[in-house]
C-alpha cells in the first residue's frame, strides 16, 4: 500500500498547508478510513482525505455531525482499519463522549483538532490554544489520552504519523493539537523516504479464540496493552463502554473490577512516559529563566530567547511536543535550576498549571497569555523575559 | 421456516456465561432476540462475520448475549458506529439492536442519515414506548396522554412513527410487527437481512414493568393483546383506505420492499472508475 502512496504523492518536496500535511501523514501511516464534518479551520483535512481515500482503497465519508464522525471512526477501527477524524473546537466538544469510549474500550483512533478561538463558535478563522485542557480532560471519568502539538507544517506531517503509531501501540485516542495558524500556513515539506518510515500496527491476538480474552494482558509480553482481534476475525469480541472484566463483559458494580481496569487504562500510557514524552530544548545549561512553549507559540518563543541571549540574559527554552501525558518528573528536573519559568500560550493560561504543580513553590511561574487570534510576537515574550510585564 | 427448539438456539447462538439476561419478567426484548436468531439460523448466516451493534438502553443489551462480535456503543450512536464498521469492512453483516428512545430521540439524526446514505445494515428497533432502563420516562414514541414517571399528568407531545419516518426518508426495506406476530416478524427479519441497503424492522414490545404498570394496562399478556387490538395490517388498511374509511390504529406489516443501490456498492463502483 505504501508504494501506492509514493506513486500518488509524487513530488518529494511540497509547499503545503498544515491541514494538507495531516492528510499526507495519515496516508503514509496507513490510515484508510476518514469520517468527518466540515468545520473551519479543519475542513481542508476532510477535503484532502476525500481526494485520496477513494484512490487508495480507503473510505471517506462525510457524516451528519461530529458525534457521528468519531463514532464511525471508532466503528471502523474495530475492524482493524486505521481511522481518523479532524475537527475544531465546537466539533471537538461534541466528540468528547466518544473519546471517552475510545479510552474505555481501547479502540485506537486519531483526532485532529485544529484549534480556533473559543468558547462556543468564537473565532472560526483565528488561531488559539484554548483546547489544551479539554484535550486531556474533556471527557468524563479518569482516563489517559496522548496529545501532540506540532510547531510547523513539516512537523505536522511527522507527528501525524507518530499519532497513528502511538494510538496503535497503546490503543488510546491520540489527539493532534494544531491551531488555525499552522493548519492554514503554507511551508515547505519534505516527504520522508517512505521505506524508512516507522509505521506501527496494534499487536494482534496470538492466542486461539477459545483462550483469548479481549482485555487480558500479558499473553506474549509484559505491556499493559491488550492484544487486539478485529471484528470478523472469528474471535467474537464484545466491546462495551461499560466497566468490563477481562472477557469484555459488563461488570458495573464491582469496585475491584473498575479500579483494576481504570488504573490499567491510565498506567498503560503513563508507565511508558519516558518513551512517549517528546520535547526539544535549547540554552538550558546555565539558564536561570526558562520559557516553556508548545505548538505555534514555540516559534516566537525561540526568537525571543535568542534575542534575550544576545542581551546577556541567561534564558533557555523547552518546547513540549507531547503535551499529554504531562511528565511531572522530567519537567521538575529540567526546570530545577531556573528561578523563573515563563509560559506563553494562546489562551489565558492552561499548560501553566501543571508546570506550576511540577516545579513547586520556590520557582516563579509566569503565564504569558495572548488571545484573540494573533500569535505572540518575539517582543511579547521578550518583555516577560526582561521582567517588563507591561 | 424451521421450528427448532429454543435449546438449539441457546446452544448455538448465545454466550452462556452472560446469562441470565437483565430483562424483566414479561419483557418482549427476549422474544425479539429469539426471532432474530431464528432468522439468522434459517439463513445460515456466518456468525464469525456478523457484528451486532447497539447503543444504550434495555434493547441495547441484546448483542451482549449473542456469541459473535458485538459493539455496545453509546446512547443513540449505534447506527453511526455501525456505519463505520460496515464501510470499513463491507464483508461483515452488521445488525443494530436499538430501542425507540435510542433510535428516535438521541439517535434520530443518525437514523435519518444512515437511511439517506443507504448504508447496508439491518436495524431492529424494539419499541416499548418508554425509557425502560432508567425506570419509565417519556419516550419520543410514547402515545399522547400516556403516563410515565416524567409525564405524571399524561404525555402532551405527539409521538414519532419510526417506521413511517424510515419509509419517507427512503429505506428500501421497512416492516413493523409486534411480539405477538412471531412468524411474520421472523420472516421480515429474514427479508431485512437479505436486503442490500438499509433495512428496518420495528417490533412493538411490551414493557409491563414500566409502561404497563404506569398506565394500568395489566400483565405482559394484556399488553400483547392490546398491541394486537390497536394495530392493523397494511393490507387491511389499504383496503379500508380504498373504501374511503380511516382508522387510528397503528399500521403493521411489510411497509416498504424496494431495490436501491447501497452506499458500499456505489462507493466501490466509483473507486473503480477512478483507477
Q: What average pLDDT does the segment A304-325 reach?
A: 97
- Does the CB of A101 have a partner CB in chain B at under 8 Å? yes
- Does the CB of A234 have a partner CB in chain B at under 8 Å? yes
CB neighbour class for B25 (10 Å; exposed up to 12, middle 13-18, buried from 19): exposed
Q: What is the Cα–Cα distance from A149 to A351, expressed in whole angstroms?
A: 12
Q: What is the Cα–Cα distance from A340 to A85, expressed in whole angstroms?
A: 39
Decide if B163 is inside a domain: yes
Whether residue A59 and residue B87 make contact (CB cut-off 8 A), yes or no, is yes
- The C-alpha torsion from A203 through A208 and A214 to A220, rounded to 10°, is -50
A389 pLDDT more than 70: no
Q: What average pLDDT does the segment A133-154 reach?
A: 98
Positive or negative, the CA dihedral B176, B180, B183, B186 is positive
Q: Which three cell numbers stand for residue A138?
A: 474533556
Task: Give the pLDDT score at A38.
Answer: 98
Which of A102, A103, A231 should be substituted to probe chain B, the one whose Cβ sees the most B Cβ atoms within 10 Å?
A: A231
Decide if B1 is inside a domain: no
CA Rg value for chain B? 18
Q: What average pLDDT does the segment A50-67 reach?
A: 96
Q: What are the residue ranges of CATH 3.40.50.920 in chain A?
A: 279-385
Task: Give the pLDDT score at B40.
Answer: 97
Instruction: Work out whether strand A289-294 and strand A315-320 pair parallel, antiparallel, or are unpaired.
Output: parallel
Positive or negative, the CA dihedral A329, A330, A334, A339 is negative
Question: Residue B144 gets which letter from DSSP?
Answer: T
**Number of structural domains found in chain B:** 1
Q: Are B149 and B230 in contact (CB under 8 A)?
A: no
CB < 8 Å to B81, chain A: 71-72, 74-75, 78
Q: Are A23 and A156 in contact (CB under 8 A)?
A: no
- Does the CB of A34 have a partner CB in chain B at under 8 Å? no
Question: Residue A47 gets which letter from DSSP?
Answer: H
Size of interface A-B (CB pairs under 8 A): 137
A219 pLDDT more than 80: no
Whether residue B73 and residue A101 make contact (CB cut-off 8 A), yes or no, is yes
CB < 8 Å to A66, chain B: none
Which of A4, A72, A208, A243 should be substituted to probe chain B, the one whose Cβ sees the most B Cβ atoms within 10 Å?
A: A72
Task: Give the pLDDT score at A6.
Answer: 66
Whether residue B82 and residue A75 make contact (CB cut-off 8 A), yes or no, is yes
| Nearest-5° Cα angle at A66, A61 to A71 | 70
Fold (topology level) of A2-196: Rossmann fold (3.40.50)
Q: Which residue has the higher pLDDT, B2 or A78?
A: A78
A388 pLDDT more than 60: no
Which of B17, B73, B88 lies nearest to residue A33, judging by beta carbons? B88
Q: What average pLDDT does the segment A46-66 reach?
A: 96
Q: What are the residue ranges of CATH 3.40.50.970 in chain A?
A: 2-196
CB < 8 Å to B83, chain A: 35, 61, 63, 68, 71-72, 75
Q: Are B143 and B221 in contact (CB under 8 A)?
A: no
Q: Which three cell numbers stand for residue A223?
A: 505491556
Decide if B68 is inside a domain: yes
Decide if B264 is inside a domain: yes
Q: What is the Cα–Cα distance from B144 to B139, expressed in whole angstroms?
A: 11
Task: Give the pLDDT score at A221.
Answer: 73
Closest CA to A111 of A120, A119, A102: A102
DSSP string for residues in A85-131: EEE-HHHHHHTHHHHHHHHHHT--EEEEEEEEE-STT-EEEEE--TT
Whether residue B74 and residue A98 make contact (CB cut-off 8 A), yes or no, is yes
- Which residues in chain B show pLDDT less than 50? none
CB < 8 Å to A103, chain B: none
Whether residue B87 and residue A67 make contact (CB cut-off 8 A), yes or no, is no
Classify the phi-psi angles of A191: left when phi > 0, otherwise alpha if psi is within -120 to 50, otherwise beta.
Answer: beta
Whether residue B92 and residue A239 make contact (CB cut-off 8 A), yes or no, is no
Residues in chain B, how many? 275
Whether residue B84 and residue A75 make contact (CB cut-off 8 A), yes or no, is yes
Which of B69, B82, B169 should be substituted to probe chain A, the one whose Cβ sees the most A Cβ atoms within 10 Å?
A: B69
CATH code of the domain covering residue B119 = 3.40.50.970
Residue A9 binned pLDDT confidence (cut-offs 50, 70, 90): confident
Task: Give the pLDDT score at B131.
Answer: 96
Domain that holds residue B186: 6-274
Q: What average pLDDT does the segment A345-369 reach?
A: 96
In chain A, which ranges are continuous DSSP H helix?
Answer: 2-9, 18-28, 43-52, 66-78, 89-94, 96-105, 132-137, 153-170, 180-184, 255-270, 273-276, 298-310, 328-334, 352-359, 378-385
Q: Chain A 204-233, CB below 8 Å of chain B: which residues?
A: 231-233
Is CATH 3.40.50.920 what the domain over A279-385 is classified as, yes or no?
Answer: yes
Using a pLDDT cut of 70, give the percent of chain A over it.
97
Asked whether the whole model's pTM tops 0.95, one would answer yes
Measured CB to CB, residues of chain B less than 8 Å from chain A are: 15, 17-18, 47-49, 51, 53, 63-64, 67-74, 77, 80-89, 91-92, 109-110, 112-113, 117, 263, 267, 270-271, 274-275
Q: What is the Cα–Cα distance from A71 to B114, expressed in whole angstroms?
A: 13
Task: Give the pLDDT score at B274.
Answer: 83
Decide if B81 is inside a domain: yes
Task: Give the pLDDT score at A390.
Answer: 41
Whether residue B18 and residue A249 make contact (CB cut-off 8 A), yes or no, is yes
Amino acid at each position: 500500500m505504501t508504494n501506492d502512496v509514493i506513486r500518488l504523492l509524487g513530488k518529494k518536496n511540497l509547499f503545503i498547508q498544515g491541514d494538507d500535511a495531516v492528510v499526507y501523514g495519515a496516508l503514509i501511516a496507513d490510515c484508510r478510513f476518514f469520517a468527518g464534518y466540515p468545520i473551519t479551520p479543519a475542513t481542508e483535512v476532510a477535503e484532502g482525505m476525500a481526494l485520496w481515500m477513494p484512490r487508495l482503497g480507503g473510505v471517506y465519508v462525510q457524516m451528519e455531525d461530529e458525534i457521528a464522525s468519531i463514532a464511525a471512526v471508532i466503528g471502523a477501527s474495530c475492524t482493524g482499519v486505521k481511522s481518523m477524524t479532524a475537527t475544531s473546537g465546537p466539533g471537538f466538544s461534541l466528540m468528547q463522549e466518544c473519546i471517552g469510549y475510545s479510552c474505555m474500550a481501547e479502540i485506537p483512533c486519531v483526532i485532529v483538532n485544529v484549534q480556533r478561538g473559543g468558547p462556543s463558535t468564537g473565532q472560526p478563522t483565528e488561531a488559539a490554544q484554548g483546547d489544551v485542557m479539554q484535550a486531556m480532560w474533556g471527557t468524563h471519568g479518569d482516563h489517559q489520552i496522548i496529545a501532540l502539538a506540532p510547531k510547523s507544517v513539516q512537523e505536522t506531517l511527522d507527528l501525524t504519523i507518530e499519532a497513528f503509531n502511538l494510538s496503535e501501540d497503546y490503543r488510546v485516542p491520540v489527539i493532534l493539537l494544531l491551531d488555525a495558524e499552522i493548519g492554514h500556513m503554507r511551508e515547505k515539506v519534505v516527504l520522508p523516504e517512505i521505506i524508512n518510515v516507522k509505521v506501527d500496527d496494534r499487536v494482534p491476538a496470538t492466542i486461539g479464540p477459545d483462550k483469548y480474552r479481549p482485555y487480558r494482558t500479558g499473553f506474549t509480553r509484559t505491556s499493559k496493552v491488550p492484544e487486539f482481534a478485529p471484528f470478523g476475525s472469528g474471535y467474537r469480541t464484545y466491546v462495551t463502554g461499560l466497566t468490563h472484566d477481562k472477557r469484555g463483559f459488563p461488570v458495573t458494580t464491582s469496585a475491584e473490577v473498575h479500579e483494576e481496569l481504570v488504573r490499567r487504562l491510565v498506567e498503560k500510557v503513563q508507565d511508558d512516559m519516558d518513551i512517549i514524552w517528546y520535547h526539544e530544548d535549547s540554552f538550558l545549561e546555565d539558564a536561570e529563566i526558562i520559557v516553556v512553549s508548545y505548538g505555534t507559540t514555540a516559534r516566537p518563543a525561540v526568537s525571543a530567547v535568542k534575542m534575550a541571549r544576545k542581551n546577556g540574559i541567561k534564558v533557555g527554552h523547552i518546547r513540549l511536543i507531547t503535551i499529554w501525558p504531562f511528565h511531572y518528573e522530567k519537567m521538575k528536573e529540567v526546570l530545577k535550576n531556573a528561578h523563573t519559568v515563563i509560559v506563553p500560550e494562546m489562551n489565558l493560561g492552561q499548560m501553566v498549571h501543571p508546570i506550576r504543580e511540577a516545579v513547586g513553590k520556590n520557582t516563579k511561574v509566569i503565564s504569558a497569555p495572548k488571545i484573540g487570534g494573533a500569535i505572540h510576537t518575539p517582543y511579547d515574550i521578550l518583555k516577560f523575559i526582561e521582567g517588563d510585564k507591561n | 421456516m424451521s421450528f427448532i427448539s429454543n435449546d438449539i438456539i441457546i446452544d448455538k447462538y448465545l454466550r452462556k456465561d452472560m446469562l441470565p439476561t437483565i430483562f424483566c419478567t414479561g419483557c418482549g426484548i427476549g422474544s425479539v432476540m429469539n426471532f432474530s436468531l431464528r432468522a439468522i439460523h434459517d439463513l445460515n448466516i456466518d456468525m464469525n462475520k456478523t457484528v451486532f451493534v447497539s447503543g444504550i438502553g434495555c434493547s441495547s443489551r441484546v448483542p451482549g448475549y449473542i456469541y459473535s462480535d458485538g459493539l455496545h456503543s453509546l446512547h443513540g450512536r449505534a447506527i453511526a458506529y455501525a456505519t463505520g464498521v460496515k464501510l470499513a469492512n463491507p464483508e461483515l453483516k452488521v445488525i443494530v439492536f436499538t430501542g425507540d428512545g435510542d433510535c428516535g430521540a438521541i439517535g434520530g439524526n443518525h437514523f435519518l442519515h444512515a437511511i439517506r446514505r443507504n448504508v447496508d445494515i439491518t436495524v431492529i428497533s424494539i419499541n416499548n414506548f418508554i425509557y425502560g432502563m432508567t425506570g419509565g420516562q417519556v419516550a419520543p414514541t410514547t402515545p399522547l396522554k400516556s403516563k410515565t414517571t416524567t409525564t405524571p399528568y399524561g404525555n402532551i407531545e405527539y409521538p414519532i412513527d419510526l417506521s413511517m419516518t424510515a419509509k419517507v426518508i427512503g429505506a428500501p426495506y421497512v416492516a413493523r410487527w409486534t411480539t405477538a406476530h412471531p412468524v411474520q416478524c421472523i420472516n421480515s427479519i429474514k427479508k431485512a437481512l437479505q436486503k442490500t441497503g438499509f433495512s428496518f424492522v420495528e417490533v412493538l414490545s411490551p414493557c409491563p414493568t414500566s409502561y404497563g404498570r404506569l398506565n394500568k394496562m395489566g400483565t405482559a399478556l394484556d399488553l400483547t393483546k392490546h398491541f394486537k387490538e390497536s394495530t392493523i395490517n397494511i393490507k387491511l388498511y389499504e383496503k379500508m383506505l380504498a373504501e374511503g374509511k380511516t382508522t387510528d390504529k397503528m399500521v403493521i406489516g411489510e411497509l416498504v420492499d424496494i431495490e436501491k443501490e447501497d452506499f458500499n456498492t456505489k462507493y466501490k463502483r466509483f473507486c473503480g472508475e477512478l483507477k
